[in-house]
Amino acid sequence: MLQVLETTPQMDVKIKILATIKQLQEGIDESTMKHNVFKTLEKVRSKETDPEILMLVLRIYEKSSDVLGADEIGLKILPGIIPMLVYGNL
């Protein structure tokens, strides 16, 4: 599923995959989130400018911050969010 998210050009598919990740997020273990999901979200975030996709990425980050500690938030989430602040559409 994560590989499809990285490679598909179809916005509706990306939105459905991100929404699924958001829904299943509580069942995904911390290691998988850190090593797989965050890396994929980083790649998606760097390529995408669609506000709907970026908002889903932000919601996943937000939900992850409840489980992760301050170090993980500072190292994994904030570097991804700060560049998103430039987008006026969000």
pLDDT (0 to 100) of residue 73: 81
Query: Is residue 17, in this structure, part of any structural domain at all?
Result: no
Query: Is residue 12, in this structure, part of any structural domain at all?
Result: no
Confidence band (pLDDT; 50, 70, 90) for 90?
low
Q: What is the pLDDT of residues 8-36, one digit of tens each?
A: 889 999 999 999 999 998 888 888 888 88
Domain coverage including residue 42:
2-6+29-86
Query: Is residue 21, in this structure, part of any structural domain at all?
Result: no
Q: What is the pLDDT of residues 41-87, one digit of tens each?
A: 888 888 888 889 888 998 998 888 777 778 878 887 788 788 777 76
Query: Is residue 74, in this structure, part of any structural domain at all?
Result: yes
How many domains does the chain divide into? Answer: 1
Please say whether the dihedral angle defined by the alpha carbons of residues 32, 20, 15 and 77, taken in this order, is positive or negative: negative
pLDDT (0 to 100) of residue 21: 92
